[in-house]
Structure 1
C-alpha cells in the first residue's frame, strides 16, 4: 500500500464490524487520521462477543481456514499471534460414533496426498461414496474450481452424480457451514471457491482453525487499541445520521454519548462499512448508479448458536464434531464445539451451531435448547448431556446474506470521490466470512489511499 502523503488525511470509518476494523487499522498504519464510528456499544458487528451470565460468549462459532491469509496478516498487525490464538486442526469431517455418520480426516502430508490418504482411510463411506468424492474433486480441479454459468449447489452435485449419503454427510454440512445457505439455492460458483481453498488447496491452506479467544479479543478489541495507539479515535455508541458531500470533503453528523450528544465534522474520505440496510439509509440521494439497487437486493439468513453448560469435568472426545441434523425428530444441531478444549476458562461448555436457522429460531428458546441437548445425548450415547446446568440460545437474525446463484455484489469504489464501501457483501469470490470482511476492509483502505488500486477481494490460496 502506498502510504506517501497520507499523514493527517482525515478518514471516517462508519461501522465497527470486522470490515470496518480492518479498514481502520490499515488506514491508521498508513498514517491517516482515523475516526471509527460504531452505533452499538461494542465492536465486532455480526461477529462479536456478548456478556452472558457474567462471561463473554460469541454470538456465533467460527471455523477459519489456513487459506485465510488476510485475516492472519491483520491479526499479526494488531498484536495477535494466530499460532496461539487459534487451535490448528487438519481438514476433517468427523461425526460422533453413534450418529451413523462418517470419519474423514486429512493427515499431515503434502498435498494432494493428504486427501488421497484421507479418502482411503475414511470410515462410514462406501466404495460408491469414495469414488463419487474422488470424481468430484478431480473434475472440479480440472475445471479450475470455476463455473462459467452459476447454478445451485444441489444442481452441481447432481451433475457430478454425488451419492445421497455423501451429499448428506459431506456436501450439505459444508455448504451450510461455509455459505449459510441451503444447497437447494446456494451459489455453486462461491461453493467451489471455498472448496478450492479446502479440499483443493495445499495441506496447510486446508487446515481448520478454531478461535481460542472470544471474538472481541481475537480482533476488534486489539484493533481498537491499535487505532488509538496510532493517533486515531474509536467512537462506540456513536450513530452516524447524515453523510453529505460538501465541497471537497464529506460531512458526517453523529449522535450518542460517545460524541457528546451530537456532533458534525468534515473528513477527506469515508469508508462506509455497515450492513446493506443501514448503508442504503446513509447513501439515500447520492448519485451511485446501480449500487443502491444491489444493496436492496440482498436477502439474509440467520445463524443460531446454542450454548450448553455442563460440569467442568465434562469433555467430548474432540474439540468439535459434525452432527447429522434432522428437524423432523428435533435434531437441529449441525456442529458441536467443546469450548473447554479451546479455552480453559470455559470448561464444560458446548456450543452447538445451526446455520440457515429460520425454522429453529422460530422455536421457543428453552424448547430448542432442550432438543439440542437431547440430540447430543443420543448421538454421543451420554445421557448426562440431556441435562445441562444452564443453556443460552443466541440467534443472529441477519448473520449473512443469502449466497444465491448469480448474486450481484457491491463494488468497493462507489464512484464518488472519497467514498468507499466495505463489508463481506462487496465483490469477492468468498461467501460472507471473516476473511471476506477483512479483505474487503483492506481493499477499502487501499482504494481510499490510492483510488483505482483496489481490486475485488479474490483469494490467493488456490
Structure 2
C-alpha cells in the first residue's frame, strides 16, 4: 500500500487525504493545531463556539459539495440556500435573483432591482452581456478597476455591487485585484445556471462543516489523523520521504504558503516554488461578533453594508447568525475584508464603531449597545489576489511531493472551493 503523508489539516489537506484514501493509499494527516480547518475553522471564545471568519459558498462549488456529501454531511441541515443577491439594509439597494432559469433570473433581478438608476442597470446589463460573450476571460490580465473602467461602469454600481463583491470574493481592493480571477467568480455566480448561482450559508461551524467529518471518515478507513503535530523537516532520501524521521512514500504539502515555503527552503530543487511564495503578499479579514438579546433579528440572514472608513464605518457585510443556527439567536457577525486599517484599531473601539454603523444603517439605535463583543482577525487570511500573480502548480520538481492549497494555480481566488480542488488535484498527481 502506498504510504502518503498529508501535511496540513485545512480544507485542502482534508480534501487530499480523502481523495488519497478513496484511491487506496495509506494516509497520515498531520495538523499543527488542535482543530482541523486551517484558515476556515471554529474557535472558542467566552464559552461560545464561533468561526475565525464568516464564509459564503456557491451552488457552483461542485467539488466541495460533492466531497461534503462523500464524508456524510447532510447538505440540507448544514447549509441555508438563498438566491443570488446583493441587498443593503432597508432603503438601500436591493438585487435578488428569482428562482427562474438562467439567464432569465438575472434579467428579472436587474429589472426589479431597487436603489439603482436606469444608467446603473444599463451598465450592469452591458457588462454581463459582454463578459458572457467573451467567455468570462481576458487575453491579458488587468486590475478589476481597469476592467470596470473599460466597461464604463457607473460609480454607484461600482460602489454598491462590483467593489464589495470583489472584496468579498478576492479579499483584495479593486485597484490591485485580478480581473481574470474576478471574472471567474462572476461566471459562476452572475453568469451561472440558476441553481449554481445560489448562495450557501453554513449553519454549522466551519470545522464541523467538513474537516471534522472528513477526519471521522478517514479514521473509519484506517487513516491516521494527528492533531497538534507540527512537521519541522521534509527530507527526500533514496526515493522516500522522511518527515521528522518518519518514513513515507509520498507527501502532499498542504500547509499555508508561509509554512510551506519554510519547509521547502532547505531543498534546492524547490527554489522556484519558494521564490513564488516569497513574492506573495497577504490581506487580513476581520470578523466582529456582536451579541444582543435573543429577540434581536435582522430582516434577512445577511446584508451588504456601505463602508466609509473616514466615518468609522468599516463593516462590509453583516450576518444574522441566529437565522442560521437558533442556538446563536441575537448574534450578529460583521465582516471587514482587506481589513488592515480596521484591524489596527483597538478591538473595543472597532467593535463600538461597527455596532454604531449597524445602528445607523438599520435605523435601530439599540444595535449600538451589544451586550458582548469579540473581534477576530485572521492576519494572513488570504494572499493578495493581484493582477498577473504567478501561483505555484500542484506538481513540483521534487519526485513524490505535490503542493496543495487555495494559493496554488487555478482560476478561483482563495476560497474553500479552490482549496478542495487543489487538494484533490495533488492527490491525483501522487496516485
How far apart are residue 415 of structure 1 and its match? 2.1
Structure 1 counterpart of 2:126: 135
- Are 2:213 and 1:222 aligned? yes
The answer to whether the aligner puts 1:370 opposite 2:373 as a matched pair is no
Q: Secondary structure at the match of 1:266?
A: strand
- Residue 326 of structure 1 aligns with which residue? 308
3-state DSSP class of the match of 1:353? strand
Q: Does 1:84 align with 2:65?
A: no
Structure-1 separation of matches of 2:113 and 2:236: 59
Q: Return the match for 1:396 from 378, 387, 394.
A: 378
For 2:199, the equivalent position in structure 1 comes to 208
| Aligned-residue offset at 1:301 | 0.3
Q: How far is 1:290 from its partner?
A: 1.8
- Where does residue 410 of structure 1 map in the other structure? 392
Instruction: Give 1:112 deviation, angstroms.
Output: 0.6
Aligned ranges 1:434-445 → 2 under 5 Å: 434-445=416-427
Aligned to 1:420: 402
The aligned residue for residue 20 of structure 2 is: 27
Query: Which residue does 1:178 correspond to in 2?
Result: 169
SS in 2 for 1:178: helix
Say yes or no: does 1:273 pair with 2:254. yes
Q: Give the equivalent residue in structure 1 for 2:115.
A: 124
Equivalent-residue separation in structure 1 for 2:343 and 2:138 (angstroms):
34
- Long gaps (5+) in structure 1: 1-7, 254-263, 450-462
Question: Quick check: 2:265–2:271 contact (8 Å CA) kept in 1?
Answer: no
List alignment gaps of at least 5 residues for structure 2. none
> 2:307, 2:414 → 1: CA distance?
23
Using the alignment, how far apart are the partners of 1:83 and 1:202 within structure 2? 20
Cα displacement string for residues 34-67 of structure 1 (whole angstroms, at most 9, x for unaligned residues)? 1111111111110000001112100000010110
Q: 2:265 and 2:114 mapped to 1: Cα distance?
A: 55
Q: How many residues are matched?
A: 430
Cα distance in 1 between the residues matched to 2:88 and 2:50: 25
Distance 1:429 1:68 in 2: 13
Note if 1:282 corresponds to 2:300: no
How many angstroms does 1:246 deviate by? 1.1
Please, which of 34, 40, 46 is the counterpart of residue 47 of structure 1?
A: 40
Q: Does 1:315 align with 2:297?
A: yes
Corresponding position of 1:144: 135
Partner deviation per Cα, 1:13-50 (whole Å, 9 max, x = no partner): 00111100110111112221111111111111100000
> What is the distance in 2 between the residues matched to 1:42 and 1:62?
18
TM-score by length of 2: 0.99
Give the match's secondary structure for 1:110. Answer: coil
Q: Is the 8 A contact 2:15 2:420 kept in 1?
A: yes
1:297 to 245, 255, 279: 279
Please provide the CA RMSD for this pair. Answer: 0.8
Structure 1 CA distance for aligned equivalents of residues 334 and 36 of structure 2:
24
Residue 131 of structure 2 is aligned to residue 157 of structure 1: no
Deviation at 1:97, TM superposition (A): 1.5
What secondary structure does 1:244 align onto? strand
- In structure 1, C-alpha distance between the alignment counterparts of 2:173 and 2:265, rounded to whole Å: 32
CA distance in 1, matches of 2:295, 2:326: 11
Match of 1:58 in 2: 51
**What is the Cα deviation at residue 289 of structure 1?**
5.3
What is the distance in 2 between the residues matched to 1:302 and 1:280?
Answer: 19
Please name the residue that 1:259 is paired with: none
Runs of 4 or more, structure 1, over 4 Å off, are: none
Query: What is the DSSP-based 3-state SS (H/G/I as helix, E as strand, rest coil) of the residue aligned with 2:241?
Result: strand
Per-residue deviation, 1:329: 0.7
Listed as ranges, the matches of 1:330-369 within 5 Å are 330-369=312-351
Query: What is the deviation of 1:277?
Result: 1.4
| 1:371 to partner: Cα distance | 0.4
- Structure 2 counterpart of 1:193: 184
Instruction: Determine the C-alpha separation between the residues in 2 that align with 1:193 and 1:289.
Output: 30
